[in-house]
Amino acid sequence: MSVFPAVDELKSTDALSAFLDAAQARFGERLAVASSLGAEDVVLVHAVAERVRAGGSPVRIFTLDTGRLPQETYELHEALEARYGLRIESVFPDTVAVQQLVRTQGPNGFYHSLDARHACCAVRKLEPLQRALGGVDAWITGLRRAQSITRTEVALAEQDGTRVKLNPLAHWSDEDVWGHIRANKIPYSSLHDAGYPSVGCAPCTRAVDPGAHARSGRWWWEDPEHKECGLHVARLRRLEDARRADEEIA
Ligand code: SF4
């Protein structure tokens, strides 16, 4: 992955554009940005848009509309499209699968057990993601090492099954992200100003106290090591393998 700019050089729109240049040269149209419209993701949208404004080719951007998103996320979606004159493609869950899920576990069944929560994320996020990634060889995410204990090993580029996952913000700090958003006046979710450092589905996200960990408001009723929806499951498997190896050595 040495075709990509060095990590220290990635903390600007120009450097992110160079990263996108390298990714597009390598993967062509089989490249996409997966955006949850979180703070990191608006940084990526800005980079894609600025690159197009400078004459570069657009990169497809999609977002998963789980059907349980807060209104503020839809407002941000519209604000980004209006500001940058681009389309962010919404990908929806399969309606029959959602109907079956709700019939089985009820409308808020995800609160009742980890299995039920994973089942909801599988229907509303994982299957749509796999569908969205059909025909994609590399996907770009806003994952950062500083986001949670499940993300401390995020690499700039990593193999994700048959695809490559590119995480150009892997080494960005919270200050890097928010400094970049403010310096460039990038639209962001109003929920971030209401105590939500991380925004997901409405029933599974809440505000946190100042200084609390960024992901502590996501699935707050679960242990920290379970706080993923499965979209980045390869890393979770590696963490689980490492934990098992530690136990065997001990
Ligand atoms: S975050 Fe919550 S509502 Fe959204 S898909 Fe997962 S369990 Fe379902």
* 229 catalytically annotated: yes
Q: Could you tell me if the CB of 201 is within 6 A of ligand 1?
A: yes
- Can you give the pTM of this predicted structure? 0.87
CATH architecture of 7-249: 3-Layer(aba) Sandwich (3.40)
Please tell me if the CB atom of residue 125 comes closer than 6 angstroms to any atom of ligand 1: yes
Q: Is the CB of 229 under 6 A from ligand 1?
A: yes
The atom of ligand 1 lying closest to the CA of 68 is 3
The average pLDDT across 220-240 equals 61
User: Mapped to the 3 state alphabet, what secondary structure does the chain carry?
Assistant: CCCCCCHHHCCCHHHHHHHHHHHHHHHCCCEEEECCCCHHHHHHHHHHHHHHHCCCCCCEEEEECCCCCCHHHHHHHHHHHHHHCCCCEEECCCHHHHHHHHHHHCCCHHHCCHHHHHHHHHHHHHHHHHHHCCCCCEEECCCCHHHCCCCCCCCCEEEECCEEEECCCCCCCHHHHHHHHHHHCCCCCHHHHHCCCCCCCHHHECCCCCCCCCCCCECCCCCHHHCCCCCCHHHHHHHHHHHHHHHHHC
Protein residue with its CA nearest to atom 3 in ligand 1 = 201
Pick the atom of ligand 1 nearest to 200's CA: 1
The percent of residues above 70 in pLDDT, for the chain, comes to 85
Question: 204 alpha carbon to ligand 1 midpoint, in Å?
Answer: 6
Is residue 128 predicted with pLDDT exceeding 70? yes
Please report, for the chain, the start and end positions of each structural domain, with discontinuous segments joined by +: 7-249
pLDDT over threshold 60, residue 123: yes
Nearest CA to ligand 1 atom 2: 204
User: Does 121 contact ligand 1 (Cβ within 6 A)?
Assistant: yes
What pLDDT, in 10s, does the model give residues 91-117?
999 999 999 999 999 999 999 999 999
What per-residue confidence (pLDDT) applies to 121?
A: 96
pLDDT band at 9 (very low <50, low <70, confident <90, very high): low
204-226 pLDDT, tens digit each: 999 999 888 877 888 888 876 66
Q: Is the CB of 46 under 6 A from ligand 1?
A: no
To the nearest whole number, what is the mean pLDDT of the chain? 88
Q: What is the pLDDT of residues 129-164, one digit of tens each?
A: 999 999 999 999 999 988 767 677 888 999 999 999
- From 36, 68, 114, the mutation candidate for ligand 1 (largest count of ligand atoms within 8 A of CB) is 68
What tens digit of pLDDT does each residue of 23-46 get? Answer: 999 999 999 999 999 999 999 999
pLDDT tens-digit map of 160-206:
999 999 999 999 999 999 999 999 999 999 999 999 998 999 999 99
Give the pLDDT of residue 239: 42
